[in-house]
Amino acid sequence: MTHGVLTYFDPPKPINNGVNGVYDPPRRVLDRIPGLQLTEMHRIREYSFCCGGGGGVLDAYPEVARTAAESRVEEAKDVGAEAIVTACHYCVANLGRWQSGGPMPVLDLVDLVYEAAGLQGRAP
């Protein structure tokens, strides 16, 4: 039991891991961006930890959303990351909302690719 609300289990477990277990394709995209160095947090892939922004958590349990987001940002700082990249719009919003002790940029994967391709500022 964590946050007095949610129960977590250690994998392996019969649940939907990631988006049907899709972990490597986004990492391969990041690996192709010149000058970007991928730094993994300690809890990744099937062991990853939600930021608390999706699934109605923010509305129903705002304190859980806050502590989960703060925890993930601290984990990113602990491994020396300069930014957090995610493909989840809930993460972009929630991880950016609850920061203290210096900002950690939270970037959307698609926006990062768009910028890396030199398309920033161009009309679609």
Domain range holding 61?
47-124
Q: Is residue 66 part of a domain?
A: yes
Rounded to 10 degrees, the C-alpha dihedral 42/43/45/49 comes to: -150
CA distance 96 to 83: 11
pTM for the whole thing?
Answer: 0.77
Say whether pLDDT at 104 is over 70: yes
Secondary structure (DSSP) of 36-68: ------SS-GGG----S-STTHHHH-HHHHHHH
**What pLDDT sits at residue 47?**
80
Tally of structural domains, the chain: 1
Q: Is residue 76 part of a domain?
A: yes
Q: Is residue 85 part of a domain?
A: yes
Q: Is residue 22 part of a domain?
A: no
- Which helix H or strand E contains 69, and what residues bound it? helix 62-78
- pLDDT tens digits for 41-74? 998 887 888 888 988 898 999 999 999 999 999 9
Q: Is residue 8 part of a domain?
A: no
What average pLDDT does the segment 8-36 reach? 75
Tell me, what amino acid is at 11?
Answer: P
- pLDDT tens digits for 4-16? 666 666 655 555 5
Q: Is residue 55 part of a domain?
A: yes
Q: Is residue 9 part of a domain?
A: no
